[in-house]
Amino acid sequence: GSTVAIIVVAAGSGTRLGEPEPKALVSIGGQTILEHALTRVFSLADAAQVIVVAPAARLDDARALALRIAGAAADHVTVVAGGDTRQQSVEAGLAVLEPTVDVVLVHDSARSFTPASQFEAVISAVRSTGGGIIPGLAVADTIKQLDWTGAVERTVDRSQLVAVQTPQGFPRAALIDAYARAAEDYTDDAAVFAAAGLPVTVVDGDPLAFKITTQWDLRRAESILGEAAP
Ligand code: C5P
């Protein structure tokens, strides 16, 4: 058996959301974005350690909220301050992994409605492949590549594209090693992992794992909650 840690990155400012609060502390239907995400994380039987990476200025709020949702699992909750970039925030989480952990999932707090089944699929695929696993969805729009002037250069074959979500899962030692080698700032963990020459494969994502980024996403989240709490 292997032991799983889930790092929930929640330290972003949420500039594109345009709310006064950091994004993780914005409410949807009476609960914050971070609370919605953690409710699903703590429903997993498999998560031995949950690490919340929170805005430095709101560490106490994040800790109180995480411990309340963890309930009996509070002993295995660690709350740390994030950094200026997502990559630095993930590194802050990696620094506090418990010794027994051998599978690490990294999850965006802003993907608050990601179903438990998506976490379970990623965990089981990491265990069976020993490589990096990311959830992805087929791309619905036609995608164009532009030149530097903004003129369309070509249409990208969308049958070869996926839009990538979280949680992204990895064997612990390989992920730590990949982060130690990362020479630039990447937008997801799989890019850090792949830059170290390690294999990443895709499992089916879920539309409910969309990332709350703009006001439009916030309204979508409110309407999903209003229909039936997923
Ligand atoms: O900004 P974006 O929505 O792409 O961020 C994705 C996730 O990474 C969010 O959950 C956000 O809170 C987190 N993040 C972070 N630290 C940063 C930037 C983003 O934890 N410095």
Three-state SS string across the chain, please?
CCCEEEEEECCCCCHHHCCCCCHHHCEECCEEHHHHHHHHHCCCCCEEEEEEEECHHHHHHHHHHHHHHHHHHHHHEEEEECCCCHHHHHHHHHCCCCCCCCEEEEEECCCCCCCHHHHHHHHHHHHHHCCEEEEEEECCCCEEEECCCCCEEEEECHHHCEEECCCEEEEHHHHHHHHHHCCCCCCCHHHHHHHCCCCEEEEECCHHHCCCCCHHHHHHHHHHHHHCCC
pLDDT score of 228: 63
Whether the CB of 165 sits within 6 Å of ligand 1: no
* 12 alpha carbon – ligand 1 mean position (Å): 4
Please name each of the domains of the chain with its CATH number: 4-227 (3.90.550.10)
Q: Is residue 147 over pLDDT 90?
A: yes
How many Å apart are CA 2 and CA 127, to the nearest integer?
A: 8
Question: β-strands 143-146, 152-156: how paired?
Answer: antiparallel
- How far is the centre of ligand 1, averaged over its atoms, from the C-alpha of 153 (Å)? 31
What's the pLDDT tens digit per position in 88-128? Answer: 999 999 999 999 999 999 999 999 999 999 999 999 999 99
12 lines ligand 1 (CB under 6 A): yes
**Å from CA of 32 to ligand 1 middle:** 15
Provide CB contacts within 8 A for 41, sequence distance 6+. Answer: 6, 8, 47, 50, 107, 119
Instruction: Report CA(25)–ligand 1 centroid distance (Å).
Output: 13
Give the Å distance between the CA of 51 and the centre of ligand 1: 14
39 forms bridges with which residues in the sheet? none
Q: Between helices 116-129 and 33-41, what is the axis angle to 10°? A: 50
**pLDDT at 42 (0 to 100):** 95
Which whole number is the average pLDDT over 210-223? 96
Q: Is 84 in the pocket of ligand 1 (CB under 6 A)?
A: yes
Q: Is the pLDDT of residue 193 over 70?
A: yes
Q: Over range 172-182, report the average pLDDT.
A: 97
Q: What is the pTM of this model?
A: 0.96
pLDDT, residue 192, reads 98
Could you give the percent of the chain with pLDDT greater than 90? 94
Contact 62, 52 (CB under 8 A): yes
pLDDT (0 to 100) of residue 46: 78
Is the distance from the beta carbon of residue 14 to the nearest atom of ligand 1 less than 6 Å? no
- Ligand 1 neighbourhood includes 110 CB (under 6 angstroms): yes
Closest ligand 1 atom, CA of 109? 10
Decide if pLDDT at 3 tops 80: yes
**Residue 9 CA to ligand 1 centre (angstroms):** 6
pLDDT of residue 1: 57
Considering the chain, what percentage of its residues have pLDDT values greater than 70? 98
* Ligand 1 atom closest to residue 110's alpha carbon, by position in its atom list: 10
